[in-house]
Structure 1
């Protein structure tokens, strides 16, 4: 990708993201309480699983908003729902970016802004592809690959965020989407870690 973001900033973003991910993985693995996924109370399963995440409120509200949660009886099912929500959010973010590109392209917007939005489109396309590949890895219980792919997706969204910030492009909608995507992916990783 012909990104306008200096490679040192990408490296910094990758390092910060990796440290954040390693931190919450260590927290989840050292948690004292185990999640009992045989509990008949689905609400308790959601709360118990989400208690291992960094973004508890988002975890609980997003999982409970999905009707599949009502019939999910185990952590693997919750992890699948959390991953599906991350993918769906990433795909919706791509649509928001494409709409912004169309609107700004037809209005003769600044070329640097269009390049930045185009870079974000590419970053999110890569992120969604990584998440879809992680779904296959999760089915094979290859959690190292899951971790690597989801971490890469989180880095991609961070690169978009950094590009927008560097170009002084303020789009509160896209900024909020970046933050939520990162948190959804983080929550999925924490729940998937409980499956190991």
Structure 2
């Protein structure tokens, strides 16, 4: 006796296999992007938070503490680079008052960098309140630079310095918002 199989069950099996392979159900944990989104969702500067954290490959393996460190490191980079930038502007200036102001600005951004480094140390020690204070101070140092220029109406605050100041202030706000999450835990 010869058994003849209908091609229909084979066809159905192949279609089912194809469907399952293209629509597989994942039971793996949610991707780290969800932690980034959750962390940034309560942040004052959501877009800056998302772009900064999503753009750093280390964020994919980070917890909230790690995300705060990534933002603080970006702020350290900004303040260090701005300090160097102000110093180079000072070196290129022929106006004595401008040189003095730009050197003061460079020192303020250097102070901001130091405060941010102290905040990193505090985060490592789970001293989130201390980290909050240091980041707050770092965000205020650049304001002194702008105020110094306002006191000298004949001198123009360099537009690039203003842009860098805004970025640093916003990075500090993002860091503060993330540190606030750590304080709540």
**Class of the TM-score when normalised by the shorter of the 2 chains:** 0.7 to 0.9
Unaligned runs of 5+ in 1: 1-38
Partner of 1:183: 170
Partner of 2:42: 52
Residue 160 (structure 2) aligned to one of 163, 169, 173: 173
Residue 78 (structure 2) aligned to one of 60, 70, 89: 89
Q: 1:164 offset after TM fit, Å?
A: 2.7
Residue 96 (structure 2) aligned to one of 100, 103, 111: 111
Q: 1:134 offset after TM fit, Å?
A: 1.0
Q: Please provide the CA RMSD for this pair.
A: 1.4
Provide the rounded CA distance (Å) in 2 between the counterparts of 1:66 and 1:161. Answer: 30
TM-score (norm 2): 0.77
Partner of 2:109: 124
Q: 1:152 offset after TM fit, Å?
A: 1.1
Q: 1:102 offset after TM fit, Å?
A: 1.5
Provide the rounded CA distance (Å) in 2 between the counterparts of 1:78 and 1:176. Answer: 24
Q: 1:121 offset after TM fit, Å?
A: 0.8
Partner of 1:140: 125
* Further displaced range: 160-169 or 137-146: 160-169
Partner of 1:16: none
1:195 partner SS:
helix
Q: 1:170 offset after TM fit, Å?
A: 3.1
Partner of 1:64: 54
Q: 1:190 offset after TM fit, Å?
A: 0.6
- Whether the 8 Å contact between 2:45 and 2:170 is mirrored in structure 1 is yes
1:194 partner SS:
helix
Provide the rounded CA distance (Å) in 2 between the counterparts of 1:172 and 1:148. Answer: 28
Does 1 or 2 have the higher relative contact order (CA < 8 Å, sep 6+)? 1
Partner of 2:21: none
Aligned length: 153
Computing the radius of gyration from Cα coordinates, the structure with the larger value is 2
